[in-house]
Structure 1
């Protein structure tokens, strides 16, 4: 062995090889380790690892597979094996190994030369790419069916509202109608979550104080959770602000806290922590931690917990989107999210979001309400409802007529143009669907403005974001309703548009 290592060329190759080179004895003990190998083992000197078996550094679940691989190599097998290992300081790595016998006659006692290549970053990049493709597929799926599905929900929920108004609160069937309406709202929330996953734009972000939002969420949880669950909020003084939107932070918190609640069916402690931290990779951060004392998860479940539609809950208690939405929103904020969990010892979700450097005043969670003004009821003004779904026109007509408005209908832009030209003097507001066959809603809007630059249009859609809705308003629309909208939201939007504007 000493003669082999004294060869000058072999020695130079051994010392300069960028991958770890290991000489392993017949009993599995390490005999020689090159400089790259010392880095892999997180060792400073060969004496720290020489004499120890290579299997000691492998994770328990990979040791038997490695022993079987070595046995095959000693029998003449040529190939590689991917294993998980940890260095002396506990650093976990994914390593691809190739082994060949150093002796001419293979056997159980032959020395092996093992080349070990660290592929941790490569595997992480591959996992990120798979996740990115998966998220993109979910987003495309959501966008493709959101319009039609929200139209159906809008018709369903609007019809339930009409039934409820006919029955009255004292009717025996009223609770059933209310329950059906609640189910419809939950379905609408699932669609919104799917759309949130597929959106990569950060939207309009501004300084936000997390503590104000966390306090509001915790107050809500204390009112609504099982009293056996203790809810605790801990926050650093002078907590930093982050670039976000109150709605994003609230969604993140509520989803994590709902997950924690479901993990503690017998009660426990739910803790929300807000800390100022500094990380080497992203600098000053605000850390949001949500932990519970629930059932916990093993490593396999923890790895899969952010996958779309993956859930550990009973079939009726979740669809596996909450944590996927959380991860998507955290990514939009340029933050990171990690999970620490063990079976029987609860779970801990840690989110780090870059802290704002500039000391901008944080926005208030609930902006001051404008002075109360009298909102006029309908007095027979004509509303033109343009939507290709008949059930939505029926529901809108019923809601608007009950509120005191007259209603005209059109199923597409061509027929709507005819109605508008004929009844132009009567029409006070146009309720216009964004996605229609033929000319789209925003294209038809430009046609209407060509006929009447002051036309009042309320756009509605179930497949575009609130940000795009805001862009329509900037382009001249008076309001935007996200489907499914309630009868009250519709009538209030119309009334607000018709409300006299204060003189400037």
Structure 2
């Protein structure tokens, strides 16, 4: 669209109608004064207004219109109104002008005008066509209502509602995932325990049976890893949050990350010389997230040569960073690739659990969902920027920490990966509602040298203890039917039998929430191995003796 030179002489159609030569001088003067009065009111009108001729050319404007769009009257009068509209609105005005003239009126039509600085204003436009009898002169009076703030507020509200729906969907799927993982862990526990019992009883002459049992045990361990990923997505892992130096982590993992990227891909590290300080995160989960992002970037690039860049930046929370974050300092860990990029549809769904663009068998669709939830659990956010042909950038923003914080996992039994240590004839009360898990756990403990008492729920276990049975250790599942779950049972047992330590077992750590464990209790996560049971039992008994 060509714009006329605002400094060139303009064709101006007068606000007043053509003089009526037949009107006496007195009447003519009165008419002139009336028209001057009406124009003065028009110019000073509190509403942005403009007058157009039959060709949609501006013949007059109110001062409020000029102030709103930041133009002078000389720059506006004589130019098509479409010169001051956004392209889509200009096209609508041009295409519908003839119909509008025939109709004679429009009310609250949405249009977009452009200010001098090219910013856009959303308006509701109402206009009326006036025709002068006899002369056939056509004049259009239009008034504008600025609704830019309202439209932006509505857009923000819509985005917020969409974000809430997305969060609710993620939460619902997460809860479902956690429940599935809990049940799956019970199945894995029975498989793992029985395979270990088989391996312990088969002699050397049964090498083939032992090989098959070993293979089955390895498969169970791989399934355990998938379950851990499910639980982490479901926000169900007890994270060991502590101040970490991301520069040190990247430096230590650089060799591993380069091997993960592959020989044809250059791995670049962009870290400020002065460092970025410490961030609050779980070491193992952050390392896994970084490795996962590099592998994703490698897969996105495909077999071609490319570049993956890992960068760190210190950021201050604000509207220009991410409006989901509370005020404070953050560290941004970014992994960027120069691959083909994502479509907008894929980018919007990338953090959804089980969504993947990889071929079947090449991905669970949980990697980015796991990273998303890790960032949230640490008090930060994760985001993706990508477009077709422009590569992909995944950023994790984590709270920066200036001083040590309390280790929230301090009450959990330490993970001990030492060899199997036999018991010394102590009595263990095993409380588990799943009969298969209970029987295999009892048999495992029995082979480790413990005496066993079994109960299928907390009420039965409490009855055993109150009936006079003596236990040196209680090993109870958390999620059980009945009037008490395992956690409540541990509290009751701790108050009535304080000399007896408790190990709480669970395949779904999220059931604890923000609950503080009883002082006499520790955690053993399912599925556990024979060595895990041995280490947890010896640790609990030794700790309680001291």
Verify same fold: TM over 0.5. Answer: yes
Secondary structure of the corresponding residue to residue 207 of structure 1: strand
Which residue of 424, 427, 441 maps to 1:382?
427
Match of 1:447 among 469, 492, 501: 492
Is 2:212 aligned against 1:179?
no
Among 498, 503, 526, the alignment partner of 1:483 is 526
* 1:273 to 2:311 alignment: yes
Aligned to 2:341: 296
Q: 1:457 Cα deviation (Å)?
A: 0.3
Q: Residue 211 of structure 1 aligns to a residue in which SS?
A: helix
SS of 2:539 mapped into structure 1: helix
1:156 to 165, 188, 191: 188
Determine which of 62, 78, 83 is the counterpart of 1:52: 83
**Alignment partner for residue 47 of structure 2, among 1, 6, 14?**
14
2:135 corresponds in structure 1 to none
Displacement after TM superposition at 1:336 (Å): 5.1
Aligned residue in 2 for 1:194: 234
CA contact (8 A) 1:28 1:53 kept: no
Q: 1:498 maps to which residue?
A: 541
Q: Secondary structure at the match of 1:52?
A: helix
- 1:296 Cα deviation from its structure 2 partner: 0.2
Mapping of residues 228-377 of structure 1, within 5 Å: 228-247=264-283, 249-250=286-287, 252-267=289-304, 268-277=306-315, 281=319, 282=327, 284-331=329-376, 333=378, 335=380, 337-356=382-401, 358=402, 360=403, 376-377=421-422
Question: Secondary structure of 2:341's match?
Answer: coil
The 1-side partners of 2:259 and 2:438 are apart by 39
Q: Max radius of gyration: which structure?
A: 2
Spell out, residue by residue over 1:210-267, the C-alpha distance to the aligned partner (whole angstroms, 9 max, x if none). 2223334544333445443433322112323345123464455345334323312225
TM-score, normalised to structure 1, is 0.74
**Residues 450, 187 of structure 1: alpha-carbon distance in 2 compared, 3 angstrom cutoff:** closer
What secondary structure, in the 3-state scheme, does the structure 1 residue paired with 2:472 have? strand
- How many Å apart are 1:386 and its aligned residue? 1.1
- The 8 Å contact of residues 210 and 249 in structure 1, kept in 2 or not, is answered as no
Is the deviation greater in 154-163 or in 22-31?
Answer: 22-31
User: Is contact 1:230-1:269 (8 Å) kept?
Assistant: yes
What does residue 480 of structure 2 align with? 436
Per-residue CA deviation, residues 67-102 of structure 1 (Å, 9 max, x unaligned), is 88889877677666699x9988787x8x76534334
Alignment partners' CA distance in 1, 2:534 and 2:111:
63
Q: CA deviation at 1:437?
A: 1.5
Listed one character per residue, the Cα deviations across residues 22-70 of structure 1 (whole Å, up to 9, x for unaligned) are 889988889969879988x8x78896997636343x6xxx998898888
2:129 aligned partner: 103
The alignment's TM-score, normalised by the length of structure 2, stands at 0.69
- More deviation in 141-150 or 385-394? 141-150
Secondary structure (helix, strand or coil) at the match of 1:3 reads: coil
> Does the 8 A contact of 2:185 with 2:527 survive in 1?
yes
Q: Structure 1's 162 and 69: CA in aligned 2 closer, same or farther, altered over 3 A?
A: farther
Q: Report which stretch shifted further, 69-78 or 439-448.
A: 69-78
Quote the RMSD (CA, aligned, Å): 4.8
